[in-house]
Amino acid sequence: MIQLDHVGVDIEDRVALLSIRRPDFLNALSPALLTELSIAVAELELSDEVAAVILTGEGKAFVAGADIKVMMEMNPLEARSFAESGAALGRSIEESGKPYIAAVNGFALGGGCELALACDFIYASTKAKFGQPEVKLGVIPGFGGTQRLSRRVGVAKTKELCLTGDIIDAQEAMRIGLIDAMVEPDELLDHARETANKIARNGPLAVAEAKRVIHEGQSMTLEQGNLIEQLAFANLFASADQKEGMTAFVGKREPVFEGK
């Protein structure tokens, strides 16, 4: 991996821990940090050593938002470029063949909430806080928040959060379906790693295809979604992983998948 200033990557047992390391600024997303995260995500996508990724932030925050001191000097063209960079990062996570688990340890506000929403699962500590408070700054979410949040919690609740700018705790986030699990702070990474390890033991081609079909099917009719599922199912029978998985099952042993 390329050495980055504010992003760290640690790989163990085919699980990558992707850490945002800008704690003095509560991991606020600057253009430079977005670039570093994009580089890390792109490298992880190409790594045969990684089957799943845990995304977290160091210190008191997951990501407390975008860097307001940088944003306040932007003109409309610069703001659009910034939004496009954030959206592209979210899309690369969402469309990655590797499942991403957001381990939210503290504040996930604005761009931080949007970054978590791009992940496949969101696990949060009991001390986590979520919100899209951009209207308090005279703007709106720009990294996909209005769209992904509404797909997670519904249109009415998204309007409530985005129009009031309210910040909610982990308990409320769990109640409305914004997060998938809530655990004590000292159990957060272990909980995320437990799920990631389960995923890493499965066929990587099958995992990637299941994620892709589920994601793409959300914008299709049921008939169209069923069709792409059938095609993906059939195509996997051309893989060595399918042969290995079924042979291992019949032989009552653990499969050894190679992603081929």
Exposure string for 187-225, b = 16+ CB within 10 A, e = fewer: ebbebbbebbeebbebbbbbbbbbbebeeebeeeeeeeb
- For residue 179, count CB atoms less than 10 angstroms from its CB and return exposed for 0-12, middle for 13-18, buried for 19 or more: buried
The CA distance from 140 to 165, in Å, is 10
Whether 114 is a known active-site residue: answer yes
Tokens representing 155 are: 């249109």
The span from the CA of 89 to the CA of 37, in Å, is 7
Number of neighbouring beta carbons within 10 Å of residue 231: 12
Is 187 part of the annotated catalytic residue set? no
Structure tokens at 22: 């800008």
Catalytic residue among 49, 73, 94, 134: 134
Which member of 12, 73, 114, 229 is catalytic?
Answer: 114
Q: Identify the sign of the CA torsion 61, 122, 172, 156.
A: positive
Residues known to be catalytic: 114, 134
